[in-house]
Amino acid sequence: MKFVTKSQQVFQVFNIIFLSLFGLLTLYPFWYVFIASFNLGSDFMRGGVYFWPRAFTLENYTLALKDARIFNSLIVSVGRTSLGVLFGLFFTMLVAYAVIIKTLPGRTFFTFFFYFTTIFGGGMIPYYMLLRDLKLTQSFWLYVLPGIYSFFNFVLLRTYFKTIPWEMQESAEIDGAGHLRILFQIYVPLSMPVIATLALFIGVGHWNDWFTGAYYQSRVNLFPAATLLQKLLTESSAPAMKAGQENLLQTMRTFTPQSLQMAFVMLLTMPIVIVYPFLQKYYVKGVMIGAVKG
C-alpha cells in the first residue's frame, strides 16, 4: 500500500474542494437557464430566482413548440445533423481508406492536395458567390454538401486505419473480397471508437452552427435552430417577433420573450447533453488512440 504524506493528503482535500467548486461554477449557468425555462416569465422578471423555479410552469415549452418558426427550425436542425453525420462519415471513410491503399498511384500527392486546400480560403464574398452559383443559398443542402469533407476528420480516421494490420486486408483480398467489403466489414467495425468520435464532432458542429444560416441562407423557413436562437437573443422586445406571436404576447401576461428564449435554449442544448454521455468513452478513446499512434 502506497504511503501518503500529510502534505499530499492536504493537497488532495484542497484539490477536491477546488475542483468541486469550479464544477459548480461551470454548471450553474446551465442550471440557471434550466430553472428559468420552467418559471413563469412575469415572475422571473421580478428577480430572485436563483436555484429552483419559484412559479413552476410548462407554458414556456408549450408556447415554444407551438411557435411555427421554432418547431420548423428544430426540424431543419435535426435533418441537417442527421444527414451531415451520415454523409460526412461515409465520404470521410472512403477517402481515408483510399489513401492507405499501398497500390494507389499518387496517394501522397492526394494527401498533400487535401492539406494544401485547407491553408487558403477565398473569403466570405467569393464563398457566398460560389454557393449562389451552385443554387445552394435557397436550399436545405447548403447545410450538408459544403461540410461533407473535413481534413481534420480525414487525418484522424486515416491515422486510425493505419493501425489496423495490413495482413487482414491481404487475407480478405485473397478470399475475393472487394475494397468496399473490406472497408465496411473489416475497417469500420474495428474503428468504431474513432468513428463515434467523428460522429460527435460532426453532429455537434452541425447542431451548433448558426453562422451558415445567418449569412448564407436566403430563406427564413430554412433557418436552423441555432440561427433562429441567435436572432431571438438579439431581439430586445416583443414587437420584433412575428405577428402571430405579438397577438399571443398581448393576451398572456405570464409569458415574456426572455422565458421563450430560455425554453428554446434548453430545447437546443438538451439533445447534445443527452447524447454526449453515451459517446464520451468512444470520444476519449478515439482521440487518444489517433493521437498516440499517429
Mind listing the pLDDT tens digit for each residue in 67-87? 788 888 889 999 999 999 999
Residue 150: its H or E element: none
Q: How far apart are CA 228 and CA 240, in angstroms?
A: 13
Find the range with the poorest average confidence among 65-79, 135-149, 247-261: 247-261
Least confident of 27-31, 90-94, 195-199, 273-277: 273-277
259-to-28, 168, 237 alpha-carbon distances in Å: 18, 57, 12
User: Do the domain assignments include residue 41?
Assistant: no
Residue 229 has pLDDT above 70, yes or no: yes
Q: Judge whether 147 lies within some domain.
A: yes
Instruction: With CA atoms as reference, report the closest residue to 264 among 62, 102, 90, 82.
Output: 62
Report whether pLDDT(273) > 50.
Answer: yes
Decide: 174 and 168 in contact? Cβ < 8 Å: no
Mean pLDDT (the chain) is: 82
Judge whether 283 lies within some domain: yes
Name the pLDDT band for 2 (thresholds 50, 70, 90): low
Under 8 Å between Cβ of 256 and 44 = yes
Range picked from 39-53, 102-116, 273-287 for highest mean pLDDT: 102-116
Q: Is residue 37 part of a domain?
A: no
Domain interval for residue 116: 58-292
The number of folded domains in the chain is: 1
Q: Is residue 251 part of a domain?
A: yes
CATH at 180: 1.10.3720.10
The percent of residues in the chain predicted with pLDDT above 90, rounded, is 18
Is 280 among the domain residues? yes
d(CA 195, CA 96): 12
Question: In this structure, is residue 12 part of a structural domain?
Answer: no
pLDDT at 222 over 80: yes
| H-type alpha helices, 67-191 | 68-100, 107-116, 124-133, 151-162, 166-174, 179-182, 188-190
pLDDT at 294: 46
**Single-letter amino acid code for the residue at 233:** L
Query: Picking from 233-237, 249-253, 265-269, which range would have the lowest pLDDT averaged per residue?
Result: 249-253
> Is 240 within a domain?
yes
Prediction pTM value: 0.75
Phi, psi (deg, nearest 5) at residue 39: -110, 145
Task: Tell me what the mean pLDDT of segment 244-261 comes to.
Answer: 58
Q: Are 144 and 111 in contact (CB under 8 A)?
A: no
